[in-house]
Chains A and B, each alone.
Chain A
Amino acid sequence: MKIAVLIKQVPGSESPLPLNSTQTWVDEPQVTYTMNPPDNYALEEALLIKENVGDGEVVAVSLGPERVKKVIREGLAKGADRGIYLEENSQIETDPLSIARSFASVLQDENFDLILTGLQSDDAGMGQTGVLIGELLGLSTATLAVQTNIQDEQIRVKRELESGWFQWVKLPLPASISIQSGLNTPRYPSLKGIMGAKKKEIRVIPASEHQTAEKTQTIKKVFVPQTTKKTEVIEGNADTAAARILEILKSDVKVL
């Protein structure tokens, strides 16, 4: 079983996230970076599948500036066998289709049985890269997996739907699956894992070799939403108050 896990490096959630001077993304030097938490679950799922199947290879793949090698090494420390690093010099978030094309161009020669992604990134939150790669490479594709099960040349996936519903689907391999957070408990890297990670290969793909198409989107402006606080004290007895609350829920908040 040959599995690729796509891991993104995102700003840490504890960072205050200042914006850059052109207001096109966060101010890189003022931000600390971490492994995208949903991708951590995808990595764990890949390691578990490999351990259950009993043989195979888990490859940690990431794209971005030099710093993203750190999340690849973190993946290697946790047990991934090797890494692929796609160089990208722009510090500004790129659209999912361009990213998916880059990944697809590199991954297609490797003939992976499975490509796993986290359900979305914690920064841009597009949730499209895995699906787009599946489409570009002609793989069977499913999203929001909360359970996976490999059977012969197939994978059974329990998908999370809305309102507490689930769906079991059976997909032929190779497949691209996005993993819902919380389906497993990601392991900690061990000391020996960290030492061993240094000896594992990270293949570097220069930007010129994977960025074939023009970018389809650009970010015009990033801004912090204006927070407005409105307080209304509802006077009167319980019945009038209840009627007013109902009105607010229907017309203002629109949840009913």
Chain B
Amino acid sequence: MIEREALELDILFVGAGPASLAGAIHLKRLLQESGQNANIGILEKAVEVGAHSLSGAIVDPRALRELFLDKNDQDFPFEAEVSEEHLYYLTDNKKIPFPFIPPSMNHHGCFVASLGKLTRWLSEICENEDIDIFCGFAGTELIYDEDRIIGVRTGDRGIDKNGAQKPQFEPGADIYAKIVVLGEGTRGSLTKKLIHKHNLMDGRNSQVWALGVKELWQMPAGTVQSGYVAHSMGFPLGHDIFGGAFLYGMKNDIWNLGLVVGLDYKNPGVDSHHEFQNLKTHPWIRSKLEGGKVIAYGAKSLPEGGWYSIPKLSVNGAMLIGDSAGFLNGQRLKGIHLAMKSGMLAAETISIALAENNFTEIKLGDYEDRMKSSWIKDELLKVRNFHQGFDHGLFGGLTNAGIGLLTAGRGWGFKDRLTSEAGHLQMEKGLKKDRYKDLQFDGTYLFDKVTDIYHSATSHEEDQIPHLHVNEPDICITKCAEEYGNPCENFCPADVYEMVPDGENQRLQINFSNCVHCKTCDIMDPYQIIDWVPPEGGGGPTWINL
């Protein structure tokens, strides 16, 4: 019997992203106002807060303003207010401006920001308000008392690649809490278990995802206008793959360039990293990068399903917030303000639950009611069928989005709810079609995955069990090789999956130490046999300002 450290808190947030950090700060203040006191802790698997935070990002300051009534926009750690915005349709070598930018895609009054900087800033406020943030600890299991969640077990540390204990072995700790709030971010590993066990997606649309891949470019002094914003559709994805590119001007002459690719494409050969490299062959993008140097790389999946893909938000002793619950506005390309607001609404319910000492599903359901009478609903309901329209290609999607503007979000103008199918089910069997024959990694503008991973500053303890669990590896060699041609080699933006020769056959090699924690494999594997579990705490990318 292993003796574990046990810790009793009142409230435990899992994942120090914008949802948890805002939720914890709001909760602390609500408790102070009502004369209550509670121990609040936040678990974070990264070595420090912000190291696993990645977003575009253009931030709608609405939630921040509500959370910090005493602060001005200038006090927030933004890069710059959006000063100029463009929306283009890209052909292979031209850019055609959209005749107008629809109000729902207008970023006026919003701010270009780095999520990593924002979460670090919020974490400092937490520290000052006596909220404990435990970095380097991953939540690996939910602790139950019958059907009630009573805590989280953190991962063991110091286990070698064969599963044996190393000298510094430290068993995971049991953290008990009256309420566990899962703000793990996109496709959270505990969230996945919770949703499955409690059937929280019953009656909802399947969540559909996209993958964002981005690089930061340091440009010569005086060449980048901070607050510049451009979005594009068309090249390189074409009309059949959902997604588009973004280019934002940050402080200190840094370009923030990225591509979002819907994880519901049909060709198993689609490779988001390669699409992103292709984007940089466009003359317009290339001209923007002239004389610059790449300084950072990262990737993260994002929940695109919208309003009808939001799971039931509460069970006995636990709640879901932020990306873990799918709070993202796909049309506005924004989720940070929704994530923060969801954390704050959860905090309001928690404050009441603590006062009444009642942590049942019914009591915690108050959070979902609050969400449904907040601006989260107003905002998401209007764009509830946005992503679904793109099942009919780019023009279908734009038409649907356009009609949606006039009909308060109805699909094709009359349907209240369009359904969607999980992205991995849409991949078509048959040979991969190679979209990258002409792509040459020149090492100056275009990089192979290994070079980009170097810029993601990713590392994991090498002597541990790989954290990508492939439950039936035989399928990779037989069925998947035949049916889909091993799309894991393509959809992973970090070269984690590699089919290597093994005698006369092939075998799957998992380069887990490359993993940037984007969760795409867990989402996109056509057989759903890949289980992403947290590696030893502290592992992963060390992003600074992504």
Give the B-binding residues of A (Cβ under 8 A).
Answer: 12-16, 18, 29-32, 34, 185-192, 194-195, 198
Contacts and interface: CB of A to CB of B under 8 A. Distances in A.
9 contacts: A14-B542, A15-B542, A29-B544, A187-B168, A188-B158, A190-B170, A191-B5, A195-B7, A198-B132
Given A18-B218, A191-B5, A195-B132, A32 B542 contact: yes
**Chain A contact residues: helix, strand, loop or mixed:** loop
A42 to B, nearest CB: 16
Nearest to A188: B170
A194 B132 contact: yes
B266 interface: no
Instruction: Rank and list the top 7 A-B pairs by shortest CB-CB distance, nearest first.
Output: A14-B459, A185-B168, A185-B167, A32-B542, A14-B457, A188-B170, A191-B7
A191 B44 CA distance: 12
B120 to A, nearest CB: 11
Contact of A16 (B48, B51, B173, B454): B454
B170 A191 contact: no
B455 interface: yes
B157 interface: yes
A194 B136 CA distance: 11
A198 B459 CA distance: 28
Interface of B: 5, 7, 47-48, 51, 130, 132, 134, 136-137, 154, 157-158, 166-168, 170, 173, 175, 218, 252, 295-296, 454-455, 457-459, 542, 544-545
B118 to A, nearest CB: 15
B5 A192 contact: yes
Contacts of A189: 136
Given A30-B295, A190-B5, 10 more contacts: A14-B542, A16-B455, A32-B544, A185-B168, A186-B168, A189-B136, A190-B173, A191-B154, A194-B134, A198-B130
A26 B458 CA distance: 19
Contacts of B542: 12, 14-15, 32
Contacts of A16: 295, 454-455, 457
A73 to B, nearest CB: 10
Contacts of A30: 295-296, 544
Contacts of B5: 190-192
B215 to A, nearest CB: 12
A32 B457 contact: yes
Contact of A188 (B168, B458, B545): B168
Contacts of B218: 18
B156 to A, nearest CB: 10
Contacts of A187: 168, 170
A236 B167 CA distance: 52
Contact of B457 (A15, A29, A186, A195): A15
A12 B544 CA distance: 12
Contacts of A15: 457, 542
Nearest to B542: A32
B47 to A, nearest CB: 8
A31 B48 CA distance: 13
Contacts of A12: 457, 459, 542
B51 A32 contact: yes
A192 B48 contact: no
B449 to A, nearest CB: 16
Contacts of B154: 191
Nearest to A186: B168
Nearest to A187: B168
Contacts of B545: 29
A187 B542 CA distance: 22
A106 B458 CA distance: 37
Contacts of B170: 187-188, 190
A34 B459 CA distance: 13
Nearest to A189: B136
B45 to A, nearest CB: 14
Contacts of A29: 252, 544-545
A72 to B, nearest CB: 14
A190 B130 CA distance: 18
A11 to B, nearest CB: 10
Contacts of A198: 130, 132
A15 B541 CA distance: 10
A55 B168 CA distance: 23
A192 B9 CA distance: 11
